[in-house]
């Protein structure tokens, strides 16, 4: 993830497209949504890339999986190599030795 500054440097360092880099931009994910009373406190916020944050709520804004359910789903999909569109790109770059 990256904090939103220095996009060009992030793209160059990891050999990403701008679109992939933007999916990896850091966001603040509210574990309990603000619309459900979740607060802007450290205990209720986790850093998540834009992709991971938006996928939790995609298609189910009122019935998103719990943070634990979502974590388990993401970890299972990562283990299967089927989660993030940037993973295969970064793995290829790593294997080619072009990412440090």
Using CB under 5 A, list all residues that contact Zn ion. Answer: 49, 52
Smallest gap from residue 46 Cβ to Zn ion (A): 11
3-state secondary structure of 17: coil
| Smallest distance from Zn ion to CB 52, Å | 3
Least gap, CB of 51 to Zn ion (angstroms): 5
Whole-number Cα distances in Å, 72 to 23, 64, 66, 83, 89: 20, 14, 10, 12, 23
């Amino acid at each position: 993830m990256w904090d939103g500054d220095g996009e060009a440097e992030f793209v160059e360092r990891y050999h990403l497209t701008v679109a992939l880099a933007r999916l990896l931009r850091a966001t603040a994910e509210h574990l309990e949504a603000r619309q459900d009373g979740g607060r802007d406190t450290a205990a209720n916020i986790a850093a998540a890339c834009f992709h991971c944050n938006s996928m939790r709520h995609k298609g189910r804004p009122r019935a998103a999986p719990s943070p634990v359910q979502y974590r388990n789903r993401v970890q299972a999909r990562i283990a299967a190599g089927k989660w993030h569109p940037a993973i295969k790109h970064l793995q290829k770059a790593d294997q080619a030795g072009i990412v440090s």
